[in-house]
Amino acid sequence: MQDVVIIGAGPAGLSAAFWCDELGLDTLVLEQAEQIGGQLHQVYNPIENYLGLKTRNGEELLAIFAKEVDSAEFDLWTGTNITSVDLKARRISLASGENLQSIGIVIASGVRPRELGVPGEKEFIGKGVIESGARDRELFAGQDVCVVGGGDAAVENALLLAEVCATVTLVHRSKKLRARREFAERLRPNNRITVFTESVLTRIIGDEQVQAVEIQRKEGLKPFQLAVRGVLIRIGVEPNTELFREQLETDEKGFIAVNSQQETSVPMVFAVGDVSNPSAPTISGATGAGATAAKIIAARLNAR
C-alpha cells in the first residue's frame, strides 16, 4: 500500500513526486517510457519561459530536473505497462502481473501529437515526414516543404523552416489561423511562405522519400498535388486518458476536468499538467499543478 501512485514522469509527475517526497508521503511513480521527461524530449527550441532557468532545449532542462529526482527518495519505475486502473478503488494492475493499491492517485500522463490519419503519414516518418522544424530544418535546406496546421506550433515551425527552405506551404483547414498574433503577423511579409486556408492535406506521396502531397482546397474542388520533399504535421495534441476516460469527468476531447486543487470527479484522484490543462499547457503550469496536488493530498492524509 502506497500513500500516492503517480502515473507519468513528465514535468508534472516529477514535480508531484518531488513534493510528495518533501511532504513525507510514500510515493511511487509509474512511467511507461524507458526514460523520464515526457515531452521535454521533443523540445529542441531554447526554453526561455521557465522562471529562473534558461536552457538550450528540453534535454538540458530535464538534466536539471533529473538531478533533483536522483536525490529524492520516491520510487520510480520506468518501462511500466499499466493494463487497468480502478480509480474509485485506487487499484492499478500492471502487465507484469503486479497489483498496486494506494490512498491517492495522481494522473500526470500528458499528451501526444494528434495524427492526421492520412496515407503516408506513418510510412514516411524520417523519410520526409518531419518531426521537428527546430531540429531537422537543415536537412531540408533549399527544398520545398509543407506544414499542416494553423496553431502556434504549426506557424512557428513554418517560420523556422522558411529561414532555410526554398518554399513553405502552410495548409490549414479553417478560414482563420489560430496562431498568436505575433506569429501570424510574421507570416504575411515572408515571401517564401504560402498559406492555403480552408484546405486539407489528404495524402503524402513518395517512394523511398516524400515527393509530393495531395491537397484538397475547399469542398467540391478537385484535389491537386504539390511537389515537396518534407511535410510537418502540427494539428494539436490528444490527452493520454484512454485508461481512465470512462471513470471520471472529462471534456469532449478527453482532457480531465479538475478544480483549483487539481481534484478530479473521483475522490483522492488528482490530475496535473497537460492532461488536465488543454488551454494553457506549459512546463511552469505542469510543475505548479504537481506541487498543488501533493500539498492537497498531504493535507487530506494528515486530516485522517
Ligand X SMILES: Cc1cc2nc3c(=O)[nH]c(=O)nc-3n(C[C@H](O)[C@H](O)[C@H](O)COP(=O)(O)OP(=O)(O)OC[C@H]3O[C@@H](n4cnc5c(N)ncnc54)[C@H](O)[C@@H]3O)c2cc1C
Would you tell me which residues interact with ligand X (CB under 6 A)?
Answer: 7-13, 30-33, 38-40, 42-43, 45, 47, 49-50, 82, 108-111, 240, 243, 273-275, 281-284, 286
Judge whether 4 and 58 are in contact, CB under 8 Å: no
Report the alpha-carbon distance of residue 126 to residue 123 in Å, rounded. 9
DSSP state, residue 115 = P
Q: Which is nearer to ligand X, 82 or 164 (CB)?
A: 82
In angstroms, give the least distance from the CB of 41 to ligand X. Answer: 8
In angstroms, give the least distance from the CB of 227 to ligand X. Answer: 27
Q: What's the grid cell of residue 154?
A: 504549426
In angstroms, give the least distance from the CB of 35 to ligand X. Answer: 8
Report the alpha-carbon distance of residue 113 to residue 109 in Å, rounded. 13
Q: What's the grid cell of residue 223?
A: 484535389
Q: Which is nearer to ligand X, 61 or 215 (CB)?
A: 61
Distances in whole angstroms, Cα of residue 133 to Cα of each of 6, 40, 144, 161, 281 = 32, 15, 13, 6, 20
Report the alpha-carbon distance of residue 125 to residue 129 in Å, rounded. 5
In angstroms, give the least distance from the CB of 6 to ligand X. Answer: 9
Report the alpha-carbon distance of residue 283 to residue 118 in Å, rounded. 31
Q: Which is nearer to ligand X, 111 or 215 (CB)?
A: 111
Q: Which is nearer to ligand X, 149 or 273 (CB)?
A: 273
Q: Which is nearer to ligand X, 50 or 183 (CB)?
A: 50
In angstroms, give the least distance from the CB of 95 to ligand X. Answer: 11
In angstroms, give the least distance from the CB of 225 to ligand X. Answer: 29
Q: Which is nearer to ligand X, 223 or 288 (CB)?
A: 288
Q: Is 98 exposed, middle or buried (0-12, 13-18, 19+ CB in 10 A)?
A: exposed
CA atoms within 13 Å, Cβ hemisphere of 18: 21
